[in-house]
Amino acid sequence: MAKQLSKTQPIRFMPGSIIVGKWHQKHYQIIRPLGYGARGTVFLAYGEHGRVALKFGFDNAGVISEVNVLNKFSKVQGESLGPSLYDVDDWVTKQKVYAFYAMEYIHGLPLLECIRVRGFEWMPIFVLQLLKDLGRLHEAGWVFGDLKPDNLVVTSSPLQIRWLDVGGTTQIGRSIKEYTEFFDRGYWGFGIRKAEPSYDLFAVAMIFVNAADGCRIEKGQDSPKAKLIRYIQSHQKLAPYADVIVQALHGEFSTAEQMRKVLLEKIDETPSRVQRISKDRVAKRKSKRKVEWKGALLLVSVVLLVYTLYVALFIM
């Protein structure tokens, strides 16, 4: 559970409940709850966009803050960083008014479950994807903040890591507003809770650690930093990437791209399925571009042929 100053009970609605927005009059039918956090509750619902994720916040300010983040994400160049935003409204009941927003429902496997099914060899590949997206987020002036496996899902066709919850996203330079202890450098004594790229990169390192066994190691009372580093260096799955992970823990990377380059070097040095996976993905992308190019050339050829026949039959 993410840490915040206040604790609020989850918002509960029965499956089948109909939500009607006060201002836009859009209808949503609740299917089931998806998750509960420090800033609100998310439900799977059915609306005009098909299946959507509805987030009901504990206060208007929190909803407005997250909506602003999603709007900023949509303006970052490249593929969407977070879920697409569909609607923002209020639902008025006899008891109270609930502020909510509707966003894209990203269907996929939770990161740790995907690693369990496909194997740890995929973890460095997903981390490379994550670092690329984090780099774009940091360049836009934000850090993710509450970065953890619970907020990451892997979609299929193609396999792609996506972000689910932007509730902890914080502007660079401010204090982190939401965090989860295991992935927080302040909890382990590696630094302060200040929104800067190195804060997210620490969390990436801890996600790597978490994925190795699918569980979180105990902090302990005596020398937790030393204990954590020993665990990483001695773990069979983590040892090939130990240098990168430990550097991230100590805040030695100032950008996500720096960490990404060093991780790529480690992957090249590791004779395992990781290399084959990386090469296969690159080959598939090249093959896809080649097919698209050939398809475009064929279309042009057909158009020219039709035009030539038209001229020959009706004009000349």
> Catalytic positions, please?
146
**CA 126, CA 148: separation in Å to the nearest integer?**
13
**CA 23, CA 250: separation in Å to the nearest integer?**
49
- Angle among Cα 146, 42, 163 to the nearest 5 degrees reads 40
CA-nearest of 114, 136, 69 to 207 is: 114
The enclosing H or E element of 206 equals: helix 197-213
Q: What are phi and psi of 230, to 5 degrees?
A: -60, -40
Cβ 201 vs Cβ 258: under 8 Å: no
CA-nearest of 200, 192, 187, 151 to 175 is: 192
**CA 287, CA 140: separation in Å to the nearest integer?**
32
Contacts 24+ apart (CB under 8 A), 157-164: 158/281, 158/284, 159/122, 160/129, 161/111, 161/126, 161/129, 161/130, 161/133, 162/82, 162/83, 162/106, 162/108, 163/81, 163/82, 163/83, 163/133, 164/35, 164/82, 164/83, 164/106
Residue 290 DSSP SS3: helix
Helices (H), 11-107: 60-75
**CA 1, CA 182: separation in Å to the nearest integer?**
10
CA pseudo-torsion sign 208, 255, 136, 196: positive
